[in-house]
Structure 1
Amino acid sequence: MAVEAELKAHVRHPDAVHERLASRAEEQVQTYRDRYFDQPTGELTAQDYEVRLRTVEDECSAKTVLTFKEPAVHTSGSKPEYETEVADGASVAALLSGLGLIERIAFSKHCRNYRFTESGYELLATLVHVPELEGTFLEVETQVGRTEDVPAGLAVVRAVLNSLGIVEDDLTTEQYTDAVAARRTRTANVE
C-alpha cells in the first residue's frame, strides 16, 4: 500500500508558478478524463472511499488507470491509494457496473505535470484546469509507504509549495468531484 501525501491549492499567479515549475522539470501536458463510481446509495462517497477510472491522454498516446482510495488518514486529505493500469477501460466500467456500482460523476482535467526529486522524495506537481471550474489549481504529491510517514512527506510538499509562492491561505481540501457537482447543480437551477 502507498499513501498519497498531497496538498492542493488555488493558484493566484499561474504564469509565475508555471515558470518556476518549468525551471525544475520537463513539462508533460495531459488530459485526464475521470469517471467516479459509487453504490447507488452513495455509500462509498459517504465513507470517503473513491473508485475512479481515469483515461490519461497526451498528444501521442492514451492509457486507462483504475484507482481505489481509502478514507483520508490526515487532515490534508491524504489517502491510501491502490492503482493499476488497465488494458480496456470499457471492460472495467462494465465490471464495476456488474458489481452494482454506478457512475456518480465524470469530468475532464487539463493538466501540466512536472516530476522531480526534492529532499529524497519523488514529487509530482500538477497545474490543473477543470473547464467547469474557475481558476487554476496546483496539486503537489509524493507517495509514502506508511501512514506514519505522511507528515514528513507533507513537510516536503509544503516546502515545494512555499518555493512556488503558494501560501497557507491558498490551500484547499475541496475535491474536484464536489466542486464540479456543485457547479452543475447551480447551473441546472439557473436554467
Structure 2
Amino acid sequence: MIEAELKARVHDVAEVTRRLDVRAAGRAEVYQDTYYDEPAGTLEKEDRELRVRTVRGAQAIKTILTYKGARVDAASGSKPEHETRVEDPEAVHAMLRGLGYEPVIAFEKQCRNYEFQAHGRPMLATVVTVPEIDGSFIELETQVEESDLRGALDDIRSVLGELGVEDGDLTTELYTDAVRARRS
C-alpha cells in the first residue's frame, strides 16, 4: 500500500483545528520517533526510512515499527509504507541495533489526530508541532494502491482546500531534515 500524503505549513492553527473539529473528534498524542539507518546511511541515500514510534495518548501508549520505501511521487513525497504494532519496544530497539542499524535521529512530535471519511476514503489529518522547529504543519493521508495515487492526492488536496490550506503552503520537507538543521 502507498501512503498518499500531503503536508503543509499551517498559518492559522486555531482555524484549521476548528474546521477539523466539525469533521471528527480530535485526539491529542505525543509521538517519540527514533529513525534508524545503516552506518553508511544506505536507507537515507535510497530515500527509505526505518522508524520506531511510541505514541502516548490519553487512553493508551502504543509503539509502531514502520518501514517506508522510496518515494513513488516526488511532488507529494508519497511512499509505500508497512507498519506493525510492537509489544516490546526495547526489544525492537535492541534487535535493530543487533542487525547493524544505528539510531540516527530521535525527536518528539506533538500531534492532534482526526480520522474521518472524505470523497469515499478514510482519511487521517494530523496537526503537528515539533518543538525543535518553527511553525505547525498539517499532514493529510490515506492508504491506496499505487494505481489510485493520483486520484487520492486530488481528494487530499480538495480536503486541504476545505480546511483553508492553500497549495502554496504544501511542503515535502522532512521533519528529520528540519530537526537536523536546527541541531547543527
Give the alignment's TM-score, normalised by structure 2. 0.98
Q: Which residue of 2 aligns with 1:5?
A: 4
* Counterparts of 2:126 and 2:26, CA distance in 1: 9
Structure 1, unmatched stretches of 5+, are 186-191
* Counterparts of 1:57 and 1:72, CA distance in 2: 28
* Counterparts of 1:105 and 1:92, CA distance in 2: 16
Q: Does 1:147 align with 2:146?
A: yes
Give the CA deviation at 1:119: 1.1
Q: Does 1:119 align with 2:124?
A: no
Structure 2, unmatched stretches of 5+, are none
Q: Which residue of 1 aligns with 2:36?
A: 37
The count of residues paired between Structure 1 and Structure 2 equals 183
Counterpart amino acid of 2:126?
A: T
Q: What does 1:57-96 align with in structure 2 at a 5 Å threshold?
A: 57-75=56-74, 76-96=76-96
Counterpart amino acid of 2:82?
A: Y
Give the CA deviation at 1:59: 2.1
1:19-64 per-position Cα deviation (integer Å, ceiling 9, x unaligned): 0000110011100000000001111111001000000001231010
User: After TM superposition, which residue ranges in structure 1, 4 or more long, deviate above 3 angstroms?
Assistant: none
Q: Does 1:48 align with 2:47?
A: yes
How many percent of aligned residue pairs carry the same amino acid? 50
* Counterparts of 1:35 and 1:79, CA distance in 2: 18
* Counterparts of 2:58 and 2:123, CA distance in 1: 23
Give the alignment's TM-score, normalised by structure 1. 0.95
Give the CA deviation at 1:149: 1.0
* Counterparts of 1:129 and 1:118, CA distance in 2: 24
Q: Which residue of 1 aligns with 2:165?
A: 166
1:87-134 per-position Cα deviation (integer Å, ceiling 9, x unaligned): 011000100000000001000000000000011100000000000011
